[in-house]
Amino acid sequence: MFLDRIPVRLRLALGHAIWMALLFLCVGFGLYRIVEHNLLRSVDASLIVSAQSIRDARFVRGFSPPIMERFLNQFFGEKHIQPYAQLVDLSGKISVKTDLRVSLPVTHKALYRAERGLETLETFPPRRATDAPLRQVTLPVMRYGRFTGEFIQVGATLDSTFHTLKEIAWVLWTSLPLGVILSMVFGYLLAKRSLMPVTEMSEAAKRLGSDDLSVRLPLPQAKDELRQLAQTFNEMLDRLEDAFKRLRRFTGDVSHELRTPLAVLRGEAELALRRERTAEDYRSSLKTIMSEATNMTGIIEDLLLLARAESRAVAMTWMELRAVDFVADLAQAVYPVYEKRSVTLRTNLQFHGDFSANPGYLTLALKNILLNAAKHSAPDNVVDFTITADSKEMVFIVTDRGEGIPEESLPYIFDPFYRADTARNRAAGGTGIGLSLAMALVKLHNGQISVTSKTGSGATFTVRIPQQFTEKSRLEINRLNFTKPQVGKSQPSLA
C-alpha cells in the first residue's frame, strides 16, 4: 500500500492533521449553527417587541390611522433592523402600514393561529437571487382575551444577519487550511519527539552482534509503552546473551570431553605401534581403546538424545505403569552403582496406583538423578527416594546427604557439562550431561524438576509429572492424602 511506504512520523502527522481538520469542521459547523440560531432569535425578539409596541399604540393610546402611520415611520426609523409593518383585518384590508418595499404575505397558518390568539413566526425565500429572505411575525390583536379580527404583521429582511453569517463562514473556511497546516506541523514535531526513544533503540540495536551481546536498549524516562517495549527487549537480550554463553561453554565442554578420550586412544595406538609387543600388551591396549571408545559412544549418544529431546524430535509412547513395579525396576537398575559406592537407597513408596509415562525416558531421567545422588554421597550414606502423588501429578523426590551444591551453581546445574567446583567434580565420573538429559526427558512429559540445596547439607531433587489418573488411582490418592504426612516433613520409608 501507498501508506506503507510513508515514514511513521509523517503518517502520524497526516493522521493528526486529518483528525484535527474533522474536529475543526465539526466545531466550526456547530459554532456557525449556534450563531445563526442566536441571530434569528434576536431578529424574532425585535420583531415581536415591535409588533407589541404597535398594538399598544393602536389600542391602548387610541391613535387614529394617520397618526398611527406617522408613529410607525418614526418608531421604525429608530430600529436597527429596519422592519416593515402593517395592520390587516380578516378581509385582507390594510388600515395602517409603513413604507413597504416588500410584500408581507398572509398565510393560512398565520390566520389559523391568529384566530386562536397565537403569534406566528415565518421565513419567506427572496424573490430575487440578490435579495435576502424575509422574516415575519403575525401578532393577533386581542381585546379582553378575544380576537378582534385584526392582526399586526411586522417583517424584516435578513440582510444584516446573512452578512454576519457570511463573514463568520469566511473566517472559518479561511482558518481551516491554516489550522490543518499548523496541526500537521505540530503533529510531526510531536511524533518526532515521541519516536525519539525508538530511534535511540534502533541505534543501540545496530551495535548488537553475536560477539557482543552486552549492549542494552536505553530506557525512556516516561513510563509508557515504549519503556515497556525496551524492558521486554532487554529481557530477551539477557536470555539471548545467557544462551550464547551456555552455547560457548557447551562447545568448549564438548571439545574437552571428547579430547580426553581421543588423546587416550591416540596415545595407546602410538604406544602399541612404537615397537613390537606381546599379545598380552596388545590386548591391554585394545581394552583401553575399547573403554575410551565406549565412553565416547556414551557421550555422543547422550548428546544426540539430549538434542532430540530438547527439540521434541522423539516419539513419545505413553503407557500405564504400576508404581510398585516401576520403582522396583528402577532400584534394580541403579543397584550396582550404589553397591559399589557403599551407599544405601531407601525407597518410600507412598503411592501404589497406576500412572502414565514413557517407561524408557522416565526411567532414564530418574536413573540419572539417582546416580548423581550416589556419586556425591559418602560411603555408608543414605539416599532417600520418595514416590507420592496428588490429584494432578506424580511426584518423585530424591534426597542425598552429600556435600551439597553451592547457591551460585544452582541455576546452572542442568546445563550440559557444567560441574560445580565441589558438588560436581570430575572425580565423581559420568559424562556431565546426566542432569541436562533428565531435565529434557522430564519436559517431554510436560513435567518439571526443581532442586534445593545448601553447601554441606546435601541436595533434594523433586520431579513432578502431570497426570490424568484413573478412578482406581484416584481412590488410592484419596487414601494417601488422608493418611500420609505432608511432603517435605519426616516420612516413613521402605528400606
Question: What is the tens place of the pLDDT at every residue in 228-263?
Answer: 888 888 888 888 877 777 777 767 667 766 777 778
Domain 319-483: CATH superfamily is Histidine kinase-like ATPase, C-terminal domain (3.30.565.10)
Cell of 474: 484416584
pTM metric for this prediction: 0.52
pLDDT tens by residue, 146-184? 888 888 888 888 888 888 889 999 988 888 888 888 888
For residue 264, CA distances in Å to 174, 254, 268, 293 come to: 92, 16, 6, 10
In this structure, the number of other CB atoms found within 10 A of the CB of residue 400 comes to 27
* H-run or E-run covering 395: strand 393-399
What is the DSSP pairing of strand 344-349 with strand 382-389? parallel
Taking phi over 0 as left and psi of -120 to 50 as alpha, with beta for the rest, 92 belongs to: left
What is the DSSP pairing of strand 382-389 with strand 354-357? unpaired
CA angle 244, 245, 247 (to 5 degrees): 60
pLDDT tens by residue, 187-222? 888 888 877 777 777 877 777 776 677 777 778 777
- Among 66-75, 112-121, 391-400, which is the least confidently predicted range? 66-75
Among candidate residues 407, 409, 436, 438, the one with its CA nearest the CA of residue 424: 409
10 Å CB burial of residue 235 (0-12, 13-18, 19+) is exposed
Whole-angstrom distance, CA of residue 5 vs CA of residue 19: 21
Cβ atoms of residues 375 and 338 within 8 Å: no
CATH class of 3-165: alpha beta
Fold of the domain built from segment(s) 225-310 = Helix Hairpins (1.10.287)
For residue 415, CA distances in Å to 109, 223, 386, 411, 435 come to: 96, 36, 25, 9, 8
Domain ranges for the chain: 3-165, 225-310, 319-483
